[in-house]
Amino acid sequence: MAAEIWDSDAAMLTFCGHGSELAWSTPIHQDMYVDYVAGPGHAPFYDDGTPMSAQDESELNAQRDRKVESAREWVARTFPVGEAAGERAVDWATATGLSPQSVERVAAALGGDNVFVEETVWEIAAALGMCVVRE
The string of pLDDT tens digits covering residues 101-130 is: 999 999 999 999 999 999 999 999 999 999
pLDDT tier at 20, thresholds 50, 70, 90: low
pLDDT reported for residue 107: 97
CA 57 vs CA 24, 60, 64, 69, 129: distances in Å: 39, 5, 11, 18, 48
Which DSSP string do the residues of 62-118 spell out, in sequence order? HHHHHHHHHHHHHHHHHS--HHHHHHHHHHHHHHTT-----HHHHHHHHT---SSHH
Which range is least confidently modeled, 9-23, 43-57, 109-123? 9-23
Share of the chain above pLDDT 90, in %: 84
Q: 94 and 100 in contact (C-beta within 8 Å)?
A: yes
pLDDT tier at 42, thresholds 50, 70, 90: confident
Q: 83 and 103 in contact (C-beta within 8 Å)?
A: yes
Q: What is the pTM of this model?
A: 0.84
